[in-house]
Structure 1
Amino acid sequence: MSRILLVYTGGTIGMIKNPETGALTAFNFDELLSNIPELRLLEHKISTVSFEEPVDSSDMDISDYIKLAELIEVHFEDYDGFVVLHGSDTMSYTASAISFMFENLKKPIIFTGSQLPIGDLRTDAKENLITSIQLAGLKERGKTVIREVGLYFEYKLYRANRTTKINAEHFEAFESSNFPPIAESGVNLKINHEKLIKPNLRKKMLVHKSLNDDIMVLKLFPGLSQQTLSYLFKMPHIKGVILETFGSGNAKTDDWFVSLLESLIERGVYIVNVTQCVGGAVHMGKYATSERLKRLGVISGGDMTTEAAVAKMMYLLDKNLGPKVFKTIFETSLRGEMN
């Protein structure tokens, strides 16, 4: 038997439909077993805790990431695994942030949610919740199997910081194009042991609760004007820019564009290059359209998702690192977020 803590932050999975009005109302998690009797069939001991005021995932910010990390930290020694119930829209952002905040994690923190409310007749919430609990409590020879932050949706468990939400209507809402699922649910649970993170059990777990959100995400598009970009780059508080480029890291080669990036870097702002493509990676210097970015000192995001790049930037900005060290660390995989 494993002890599992369900943490409800908000989102569709925690809503039920009022049969009289049709309106969605917050689910009472104190009555979890009576509403989802299937949970009684699980061998695990399940406890629940909720944010005092559930947050729609669209309203999530770094204060909520810190609140969630602190909540898990307080209960960490009392449970074998954690299942975080979260709105799907920004789940990849939150889960990526939590993956960086917990260094040398030795227990599973699994995010899940649903496209339909838990009280809906056709809901995907029950399967997502039940299997997430099974995965969080999974042991082999008495030892915890999963020791990282995962995201479970529609029969697949992904490494959380490898995911992106790709569909607002289908139950298969998430994708991990550059990294295979670490587990799949069918007749049996199949674990991809070779792909699991294997933490150093001798090292102490650290929880990092200092994040910096002075970040801008800029998606390049044909026709982006000098006037617009000049205005955006003048904002004095910006410390990091995630540049979503074309293909394998390509961008405009106009002198004004390169000069603006150069002035930003000289000001001490970090610029990270990630691709707009769902799959694939940045290879700066492969084409002439990315060679100048490389020479400027733009940081390669490799095959990281935008969500992971944002979370990693938030995590590293407050570490007081020098430019060369920052670039080296950003281009190094810390939590399995890049190949």
Structure 2
Amino acid sequence: MASRVLVLYAGGTIGMAPSPDGLRPMDGFAERLHAALAEDAHRLPHFDVQSLEHPIDSAQLRPGDWSAIAAPLIAQWDAYDGFVVLHGTDTLAWTASALSFLLMGADKPVILTGAQIPWLQARSDALGNVHAALQFAARREIREVAVCFGRTLMRGNRCRKRASSDFDAFDSPNAPALARIGIDLQVDERALLSPPARDFRNPPLSTDTVELLTVHPGLSGRRIDALSADPAVRGLILLSYGVGNLPSDDPTLSAALERAAERELVVLNLTQCWQGRVAQDTYASGAALSRLGVIDGADLTPEAAFAKLHYLLAVAHTPAQVRVHLRQPLCGEMRPG
């Protein structure tokens, strides 16, 4: 078992307590967590607790906050054998995806978890999730960013929040679970990532760099023009139908995408479907997107695509380089080909 784990409280329900004004971050969180887990101390690694200076309300998360979460992990990487990040559930999958890129080549476990019910309320799932996350953070064979929630450990950049009120709130629709929690912790070592060499980068990330647009009946090229005309926007993610289809009978859409290409906007095409992947050249309407330079997003989740595009736009030098890396799996976020 690993000897030391750092628990970073980034915010969210798991560390909230009732107050006259509603839920707010509890006082003495570190001491309370140690006391609550004291009976199981012999089964858990030694852990220290640190909180962000300004804990993040999950629904208020912005891309720049990912750098604030990554910074203390990078700064103390060599001092600990594993890490647990406590985070609000609404945007936990987005942060897990982002950390997988910012901590590229992680050679230790970074486990994100949270809670559906505040820790001090009846029936809370908080301590159970933290207990499991600490155990996974002590497993040396896990060398990646992962999400532990309910009874499952999932790759961070493959998971999505699937339910607003279930305890098993997260799922990994296009990739197998890394581990299951039953009588024993059953780790599937075949599913674990073999990380590349450590390449941590933590660039500042802009809130306005990437936009996400859901394709819907009646979508007009005016929407794409409005987004691509914004000089701050450098990347656009389309959530299209099925295997990557857009309406093919509206010339304004293709014209708008041509204009977006002219200003070197990076456009990535994902499916709206919960499971499956884009196969952009299957139908004529999708093949037309390829001719316009739209990137086939394969089986990326929207959360992983959003984080990956933010990361690449921050570290790559040209849109052409971004497009090349979007097609390649960098840290297990997509299947090759």
Tell me the TM-score normalized by structure 1: 0.93
CA distance in 2, matches of 1:309, 1:91: 15
- Counterpart in 1 of 2:311? 315
- The equivalent position to 2:284 in structure 1, one of 278, 284, 288, is 288
- Counterpart in 2 of 1:123? 124
Do residues 215 (structure 1) and 210 (structure 2) align?
yes
Percent of residue pairs bearing the same amino acid type: 37
1:285 partner amino acid: D
Give the superposition deviation at 1:34. 1.9
CA distance in 1, matches of 2:158, 2:222: 34
* 1:94-121 deviation line (CA, Å, top 9, x unaligned): 1111100112110111100010001122
Give the superposition deviation at 1:212. 4.2
Do residues 17 (structure 1) and 18 (structure 2) align?
yes
* 1:50-84 deviation line (CA, Å, top 9, x unaligned): 01121101112232211111111111111100000
Give the superposition deviation at 1:25. 3.4
- Counterpart in 1 of 2:160? 164
1:159 partner amino acid: R
Q: Is 2:268–2:294's contact at 8 Å kept on the other side of the alignment?
A: yes
- Secondary structure of the residue aligned to 1:172 is coil
Do residues 234 (structure 1) and 229 (structure 2) align?
yes
Give the superposition deviation at 1:38. 4.1
Q: Is 1:106–1:148's contact at 8 Å kept on the other side of the alignment?
A: yes
Q: Structure 1's 256 and 49: CA in aligned 2 closer, same or farther, altered over 3 A?
A: same
Moved more, 63-72 or 238-247: 63-72
Stretches of structure 2 that go unaligned for 5 or more consecutive residues are none
Give the superposition deviation at 1:265. 0.9
- Counterpart in 2 of 1:30? 30
Give the superposition deviation at 1:221. 0.4
Q: Is 2:71–2:202's contact at 8 Å kept on the other side of the alignment?
A: no
- Counterpart in 2 of 1:252? 247
2:232 partner amino acid: H
CA distance in 2, matches of 1:209, 1:237: 17
Q: Is 1:3–1:44's contact at 8 Å kept on the other side of the alignment?
A: yes
Q: Is 1:106–1:205's contact at 8 Å kept on the other side of the alignment?
A: no
The correspondence of residues 1-339 of structure 1 with structure 2, limited to 5 A, is 1=1, 2-17=3-18, 23-27=22-26, 28-31=28-31, 32-138=33-139, 144-200=140-196, 203-213=197-207, 214-253=209-248, 254-339=250-335
CA distance in 2, matches of 1:151, 1:69: 15
1:118 partner amino acid: W
Give the superposition deviation at 1:151. 0.5
Moved more, 91-100 or 229-238: 229-238
CA distance in 2, matches of 1:130, 1:44: 10
Give the superposition deviation at 1:205. 4.1
CA distance in 1, matches of 2:269, 2:133: 33
Aligned residues, how many? 330
Give the superposition deviation at 1:22. 9.2
CA distance in 2, matches of 1:110, 1:275: 27
- Secondary structure of the residue aligned to 1:116 is coil
Q: How well do the aligned residues superpose, as a CA RMSD in angstroms? A: 1.7
Q: Is 1:212–1:315's contact at 8 Å kept on the other side of the alignment?
A: no
Give the superposition deviation at 1:255. 1.3
1:35 partner amino acid: A
Stretches of structure 1 that go unaligned for 5 or more consecutive residues are 139-143
CA distance in 1, matches of 2:91, 2:320: 31
